[in-house]
């Protein structure tokens, strides 16, 4: 009656373009932050201009040369263009699906195999494309608002943390690499809907054109906001060492443990939804292209079969080429890991000595658990939950973790760790320190804004009931000129205080990091 | 008649025959022949039996139709003038003491028509020497009187609900819309049950395409017994595999009238107080009739709560499972430690704990429906207190999961549509199972699947997700009556189902 097959309104088209491009580019273009720092801003700006010009060209072509494909020459050009687009979409959808699996494994389900996630995602994409363009138009209309709201929340949360001087361009770009990267990004940024524009499946009127440009502009603004946020918070130099700035960005909204803090799990939902929409759009167009290029009958059934086969092959190649192929082909973690099987680390001390490095863990306990070299602590935490201490000697943090896990029969969970205290001697040994920090920062469960303090431990130090009971607040002025190692690297102009656990005179603070909140958890007790 | 195809051919033949007569003969004869043909079709007979005027012969013919029907009684009468007659009736449907003052409502020429009238709850009288059977006005079948709607309660508005009789229900609608543009099309459906169905619409407002499609689907029904509107719903829905309801239902005449005025079609079925509304969309399930009786701010707030409730009803147990077992970092530390403490003494994994409590609630729910009224409240207390409290005390489950299940149950009841609540219950288990393997990723994927499924659904060619996707249908006019209900003065534009031209 109203909805004709393969036809969506101009407004729906604009929303589809927004949802699609914000997914693929938010993931891919932001990886350029790590490469170019603040210069990446210009890459995004150029991409925006490029996408606009490309869309304008497509629209003009669709409007003024409607019959250009009827001639022999026109048909050849059209077929070549379609094959190029097909190649592009096949590559892109593989990478986007792999991106989904990557994010999911990194933040949400590390125990589930990549292949398993890929299969599930791909099955869902195939189910979705079966609904046709109309169905996608409607779903994107709904997702437009669902996706937009988290983005706005992210941006609002980041505003107070952004340091404008970080966004000043540095102009130290390697031109050759920049051009190559720009071309590579442009390849991704051009909306999959460009095929749609060429085929003229919509009403080519002013309103439609406006909606398409609005969709691309919105996508640009989203990219710009996330980019500026990441850059403003971390700074160009810091970000340049990060492999996944978007996910890192999601961890910094506050110290773990507070309401709406540590929301990287929730925010990754937004990223996955956007990427899924991109995969949906791309797979749909692959299906359409296969129908138009190869099938004379133009049937959905055969096109779907070929699409599925092609995509399975691409995913398989991607899977084989990646280092994830070392993991079990299909592994899942049914039921996850229950809370009682975990030991939540609240703070950690690393002390250097000649016969090995000592690792002290303060672990939240209900009073029933414990084991190994544990010493029962005080009721410093919420309710009846007390803290207990585990101490072990090991060469690396991972080895220490394994030893503690073996001793206690539970897995250590760092997701709520707030403070990392490092022995002064360890901080003076650059090589050891670097190795330790690299090892710790590789654990995605550890928040980006953990407080890191340099301490001087008495060699007779042993955690006792006093640990964590007495606290000290330090301010920025107290450690401004001291030897500071900041794991979180967050810089704030505000005069904020940090409360850390102390053990009388046995631990002397020689430096500390900063947090974005006034106090840490121990103040509760 | 061997099969349905034969029936169809026979029907076409009769209609053709009747039409031919209509062309050749006078209108009266043609009319009589046509009406004579239809009952014979209903009874699967090739010839219709005409009332002869010979009482014995007519009774013999009539008796052949009611063999084995002991509930049908016969009363022979001889009056002072020697006029012989016989009355067929059903004990409950006729007041035997009032036979003296009986009123003849209608006369039939064929025996089959008379049988149909008898089955409808009337008395039939044959008079010797009179070649027509008389239908005597009767009290009809016993039925429930008009009462309050049990499943659609409102704080403000009429208390009246539909009854079981289709004619009463139509009258209740007519009473609220005293306008001749309200049209009623009567249909008899059900091969054996012969259930009366009324299709109500407002001429000039309802789109013709919607009406035609509704009539077409009703005509295509080939089923023995239409005992409830739910059977019609299932026989005429577009996607049988979908868990989502494709018709909206109501037990309230005022709601039916409001929907009629917004261009929808109402189907009333005899023997049920539940009316069907079509077309439908997802958002219409979240609207109640008192949304329009209350001020817009309150109504909008209530709708927001309902949408949140819908989300919680589907996803809360799954979110609990995902957060506790996969991503505990999203919880504030004090809350996490509270969860941690509560889980310490529970012997089951969180997944089993969730399933255990959810299934217990389902048991309670089913028991609450089936158990007789006075015992029902006792069961609620037993279920709520003993199972909930005792399970926590016995450390079978943690108190947190009791809260989760209780909030989920409350949220599901906040959605003002039982059919949709049933769908939510199914989707809840789907999400729990996906989450048990994939954590938050499972919730994302399941929601994407749900959205994709909803986006491809249609109801009588209207997208099911309307008014979200209504910009190509009516320029987003209905978005003013979506999650936020704008003031009534601003809702003057035509409704989405309304005929857009020529009202």
- Beta-carbon contacts below 8 Å between A and B: 191
Residue A376 pLDDT? 38
Chain B residue numbers touching A266 (CB-CB < 8 A): 330, 440
Measured between alpha carbons, how far is A109 from A327 in angstroms, rounded to an integer? 14
| Inter-chain residue contact B340 with A3, CB threshold 8 Å | no
- Cβ neighbours around B433 below 10 Å, total: 17
Q: Measured between CB atoms, does B494 come within 8 Å of chain A?
A: no
- Residues of chain B falling short of pLDDT 50: 1-46, 502-503
* Cα A177 from chain centroid (whole Å): 24
Which residue, among B430, B448, B479, B500, would best test binding to A if mutated, counting the most A CBs under 10 Å from its CB? B448
Rounded to two decimals, the ipTM of the complex is: 0.79
Contact B471 A136 (CB under 8 A): no
Between CA B377 and CA B371 the distance in angstroms is 9
pLDDT at position A505 is: 44
The whole-number pLDDT of residue A105 equals 83
Interface test with B, best of A10, A12, A108, A272 (most B CBs within 10 A): A108
Asked if B241 is an interface residue toward chain A (Cβ–Cβ < 8 A), one would say: no
Distance CA(A377)–CA(B349), nearest Å, equals: 28
Q: Rounded to a whole number, what is the distance in Å from the CA of A420 to chain B's nearest CA?
A: 17
Of the partner residues B326, B455, B460, the one whose CB lies closest to the CB of residue A131: B455
Least Cα separation, residue A471 to chain B (angstroms): 18
- Burial of A335: CB neighbours in 10 Å, binned 0-12, 13-18, 19+: middle
B463: which chain A residues are within 8 Å (Cβ-Cβ)? 2-3, 134, 138
Closest Cβ opposite residue A339 in set B339, B443, B460:
B339
DSSP state of B499: -
Domain covering A10-325, topology: Amino acid/polyamine transporter I (1.20.1740)
Is residue A423 helix, strand or coil? strand
Bridge partners, A470 (sequence order): A502
Inter-axis angle of helices A264-294 and A72-103, nearest 10: 150
Kind plus residue range of the DSSP H or E element containing B76: strand B72-78
CA distance to partner chain A, nearest, from residue B310 (Å): 16
Distances (CA, A) of B454 to B202, B283, B442, B503: 29, 12, 18, 31
Among the listed residues A175, A177, A220, A176, the one whose alpha carbon sits nearest the alpha carbon of residue A55: A220
DSSP string, B132-186: SEEEEP---S--PPP-B-SSS--SSS--B---S-HHHHHHHHHHH---TTEEEEE
User: Residue B430's pLDDT is what?
Assistant: 93
Using a CB–CB cutoff of 8 Å, tell me whether B101 touches chain A: no
Instruction: Yes or no: say if B182 and B260 are a contact pair by the CB < 8 Å rule.
Output: yes
CA distance A110 to B325: 12
CB A418 within 8 A of CB A347: yes
User: Strand runs (DSSP E) across A266-355, as ranges?
Assistant: 342-353
Q: Do A366 and B341 touch (CB under 8 A)?
A: yes
Residue of A116, A136, A266, A336 to mutate when probing chain B, most B C-beta within 10 A: A336
| B456 contacts on A by Cβ (under 8 Å) | 130-132, 134-135
Name which of A176, A251, A232, A238 is nearest A34 in CA terms: A238
Closest CB to A108 among B436, B441, B454: B441
SS (H, E, C) A493-516: CCCCEEEEEECHHHEEEEECCCCC
Tabulate helix, strand, coil % of chain A (nearest 5): 60, 10, 30
Residues B85 and B77: beta-carbon distance below 8 Å: yes
Distances (CA, A) of B418 to B250, B251, B384, B424: 10, 12, 21, 10
Residues 135 through 174 of chain B touching chain A, CB cutoff 8 Å: none
In this structure, what token pair is assigned to residue B198? 């009324």
- Note the pLDDT of residue A245: 57
Both tokens assigned to A107: 């933040």
Q: Where are the alpha helices (DSSP H) in A69-205?
A: 72-103, 114-129, 132-158, 175-189, 194-199
Predicted confidence at residue A6, as pLDDT, reads 57
Question: Looking at residue A263, what is its pLDDT?
Answer: 60
Q: How far is B327 from chain A (nearest CA, A)?
A: 7
Task: Flag if A264 and B469 touch (Cβ within 8 Å).
Answer: no
Q: Compute CA A391 distance to the chain's CA centroid, rounded to the nearest angstrom.
A: 33
Which residue in B337, B346, B471 is closest to A382 by CB distance?
A: B337
Mean pLDDT for each 10-residue chunk of chain A (525 residues)?
57 80 62 63 76 80 68 76 82 83 82 86 88 82 77 69 57 63 68 63 68 83 73 60 58 49 67 84 85 72 78 76 67 77 83 78 62 38 59 84 85 81 71 74 69 63 55 50 37 43 45 33 26
Positions of CATH 1.20.1740.10 in chain A: 10-325
Nearest CA of chain A to the CA of B332: how many Å?
Answer: 4
Q: Which residue has the tokens 């008796």?
A: B63
- Cβ <8 Å between A385 and B436: no
Positive or negative, the CA dihedral B197, B203, B205, B211 is positive
CB-nearest partner of A139 from B341, B346, B451:
B451
The nearest CA of chain B is from the CA of A212 a distance in Å of 16
CA neighbor of A523 nearest in space, from A418, A445, A421, A450:
A418
Name the residue among B324, B462, B469 with its Cβ closest to that of A339: B324
DSSP 3-state of B53: coil
Confirm or reject contact between B436 and chain A (CB < 8 A).
Answer: yes
DSSP secondary structure code for residue B479 in this structure: G
Residue A324: what pLDDT? 59
Q: Are B149 and B172 in contact (CB under 8 A)?
A: no
Q: What per-residue confidence (pLDDT) applies to A233?
A: 63
Q: Which of A1, A271, A413, A517 has the most B C-beta neighbours within 10 Å, making it the best mutation to test the interface with B?
A: A1
Pairing of strands B84-90, B72-78: antiparallel
pLDDT digits (tens, 9 = 90+) for B386-444: 777 788 888 888 888 889 998 998 898 888 888 888 899 999 999 999 999 888 899 98
Interface with B, mutate which of A9, A119, A128, A138 (most B CBs under 10 A) = A138
């Amino acid at each position: 009656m109203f909805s004709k097959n393969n036809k969506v309104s101009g407004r729906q088209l604009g929303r589809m373009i927004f949802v699609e491009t914000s997914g693929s580019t938010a993931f891919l273009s932001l990886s350029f932050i790590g490469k170019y720092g603040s210069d990446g801003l210009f890459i995004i700006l150029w991409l925006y201009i490029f996408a606009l010009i490309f869309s304008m060209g497509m629209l003009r072509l669709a409007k003024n040369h409607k019959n250009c494909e009827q001639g022999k020459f026109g048909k050849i050009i059209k077929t070549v263009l379609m094959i190029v687009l097909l190649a592009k979409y096949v590559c892109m959808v593989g990478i986007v699906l792999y991106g989904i699996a990557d994010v999911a494994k990194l933040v949400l389900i590390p125990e589930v195999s990549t292949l398993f996630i890929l299969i599930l995602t791909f099955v869902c994409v195939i189910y979705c494309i079966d609904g046709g363009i109309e169905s996608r138009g409607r779903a994107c209309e709904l997702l437009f608002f669902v996706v937009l709201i988290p983005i706005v929340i992210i941006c609002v949360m980041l505003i107070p943390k952004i340091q404008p001087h970080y966004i000043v361009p540095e102009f130290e770009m390697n031109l050759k690499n920049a051009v190559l990267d720009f071309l590579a990004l442009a390849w991704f940024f051009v909306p999959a809907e460009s095929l749609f524009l060429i085929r003229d499946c919509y009403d080519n009127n002013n309103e439609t054109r406006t909606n398409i440009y609005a969709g691309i502009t919105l996508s640009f603004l989203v990219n710009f906001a996330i980019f500026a946020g990441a850059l403003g918070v971390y700074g160009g130099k810091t970000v340049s060492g990060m492999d996944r700035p978007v996910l890192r960005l999601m961890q910094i909204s506050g110290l773990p443990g507070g309401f709406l803090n540590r929301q990287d799990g929730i925010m990754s939902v937004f990223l996955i939804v956007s990427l899924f929409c991109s995969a949906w759009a791309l797979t749909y167009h692959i299906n359409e292209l296969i129908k138009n290029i190869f099938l004379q009958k133009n049937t959905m059934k055969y096109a779907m079969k070929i699409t599925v086969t092609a995509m399975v092959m691409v995913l398989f190649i991607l899977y084989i080429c990646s280092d994830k192929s070392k993991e079990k082909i299909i592994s899942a973690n049914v039921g996850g890991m229950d809370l009682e099987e975990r030991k939540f680390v609240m703070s950690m001390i690393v002390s250097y000595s000649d016969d090995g490095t000592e690792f002290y863990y303060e672990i939240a306990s209900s009073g029933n658990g414990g084991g190994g070299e544990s010493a029962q602590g005080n009721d410093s935490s919420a309710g009846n939950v007390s803290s207990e201490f585990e101490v072990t000697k090991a060469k690396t943090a991972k080895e220490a973790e394994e030893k503690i896990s073996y001793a206690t029969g539970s897995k250590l969970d760092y997701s709520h760790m707030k403070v990392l205290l490092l022995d002064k001697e360890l901080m003076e040994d650059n090589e050891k320190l670097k190795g330790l920090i690299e090892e710790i920062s590789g654990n995605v469960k550890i928040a980006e804004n953990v407080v890191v303090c340099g301490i001087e431990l008495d060699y007779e130090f042993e955690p006792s009931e006093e640990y964590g009971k007495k606290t000290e607040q330090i301010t920025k002025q107290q450690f401004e000129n001291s030897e500071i190692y900041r794991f979180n690297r967050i810089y704030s102009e505000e005069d904020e205080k940090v409360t850390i656990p102390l053990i009388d005179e046995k631990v002397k603070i020689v430096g500390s990091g900063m947090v974005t909140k006034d106090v840490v958890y121990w103040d509760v007790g | 008649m061997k099969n349905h195809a034969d029936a169809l051919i026979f029907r076409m033949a009769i209609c053709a025959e009747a039409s031919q007569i209509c062309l050749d003969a006078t209108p009266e004869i043609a009319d009589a022949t046509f009406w004579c043909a239809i009952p014979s079709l209903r009874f699967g007979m090739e010839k219709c039996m005409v009332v002869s005027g010979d009482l014995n012969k007519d009774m013999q013919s009539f008796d052949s139709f009611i063999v084995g029907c002991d509930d049908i009684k016969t009363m022979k009468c001889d009056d002072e003038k020697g006029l012989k007659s016989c009355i067929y009736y059903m004990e409950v449907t006729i007041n035997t003491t009032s036979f003296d003052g009986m009123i003849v409502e209608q006369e039939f020429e064929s025996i089959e028509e008379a049988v149909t009238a008898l089955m409808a709850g009337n008395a039939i009288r044959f008079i010797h020497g009179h070649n027509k059977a008389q239908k005597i006005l009767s009290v009809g079948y016993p039925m429930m009187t008009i009462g309050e709607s049990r499943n659609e309660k409102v704080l403000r508005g009429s208390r009246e609900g539909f009854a079981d009789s289709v004619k009463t229900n139509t009258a209740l609608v007519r009473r609220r819309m005293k306008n001749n543009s309200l049209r009623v099309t009567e249909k008899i459906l059900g091969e054996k049950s012969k259930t009366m169905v009324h299709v109500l619409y407002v001429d000039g407002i309802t789109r013709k395409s919607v009406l035609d499609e509704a009539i077409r689907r009703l005509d295509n029904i080939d089923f023995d017994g239409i005992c409830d509107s739910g059977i019609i719903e299932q026989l005429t829905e577009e996607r049988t595999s979908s868990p989502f309801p494709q018709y909206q239902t109501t037990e309230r005449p005022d709601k039916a009238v409001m929907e009629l005025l917004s261009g929808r079609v109402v189907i009333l079925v005899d023997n049920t107080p539940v009316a069907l509304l079509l077309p439908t969309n997802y958002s219409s399930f979240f609207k109640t009739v008192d949304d329009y009786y209350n001020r817009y701010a309150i109504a909008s707030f209530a709708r927001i709560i309902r949408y949140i409730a819908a989300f919680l009803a589907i996803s809360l147990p799954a979110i609990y499972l995902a957060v506790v077992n996969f991503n505990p970092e999203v919880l504030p530390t004090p809350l996490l430690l509270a969860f941690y403490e509560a889980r310490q003494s529970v012997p089951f994994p969180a997944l089993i704990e969730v399933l255990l409590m959810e299934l217990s609630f389902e048991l309670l729910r089913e028991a609450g429906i089936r158990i007789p009224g006075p015992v029902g409240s006792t069961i609620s207390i037993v279920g709520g207190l003993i199972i909930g409290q005792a399970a926590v005390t016995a450390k079978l489950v943690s108190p947190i999961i009791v809260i989760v299940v209780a909030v989920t149950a409350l949220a599901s009841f906040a959605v003002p549509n039982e059919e949709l609540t049933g769908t939510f219950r199914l989707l809840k288990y789907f999400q729990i199972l996906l989450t048990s393997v994939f954590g938050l990723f499972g919730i994302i994927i399941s929601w994407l699947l749900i959205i994709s499924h909803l986006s491809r659904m249609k109801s009588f060619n209207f997208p099911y997700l309307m008014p979200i996707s209504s910009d190509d249908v009516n320029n987003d006019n209905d978005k003013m009556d979506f999650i936020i209900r704008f003031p009534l003065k601003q809702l003057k534009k035509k409704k989405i189902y309304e005929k857009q031209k020529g009202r």
